Amino acid sequence: MITVLLEVVNVKTFCEVLNRKIAPAVKFYLAWKLVRDYGLTQVKAARILGLKQSAVNYAATGRRKPRYYDEILGVPGVREILDRLVEGFIEKGEFELCTLCYQLLSTGLYTRILEAVGEPAGSVKIPRQTAGG
Question: Does 110 map to a domain?
Answer: yes
Where residue 133 falls among pLDDT bands split at 50, 70, 90? very low
Question: Does 82 map to a domain?
Answer: yes
Question: Does 30 map to a domain?
Answer: yes
Residues 6+ apart with CB under 8 A from 126: 14, 105, 110
Question: Does 42 map to a domain?
Answer: yes
Question: Does 24 map to a domain?
Answer: yes
What would the pLDDT profile of 6-64 be if each residue is shown by its tens digit? 454 678 899 999 999 999 999 999 999 999 999 999 999 999 999 999 999 999 998 88
For the chain, how many structural domains are there in total? 1
Where residue 105 falls among pLDDT bands split at 50, 70, 90? very high
Element (H, E) at 13: strand 12-13
* Single pTM value for the model: 0.84
Cα-Cα-Cα-Cα dihedral sign, residues 49, 54, 59, 61: positive
Q: In this predicted structure, what is the pLDDT of residue 70?
A: 96
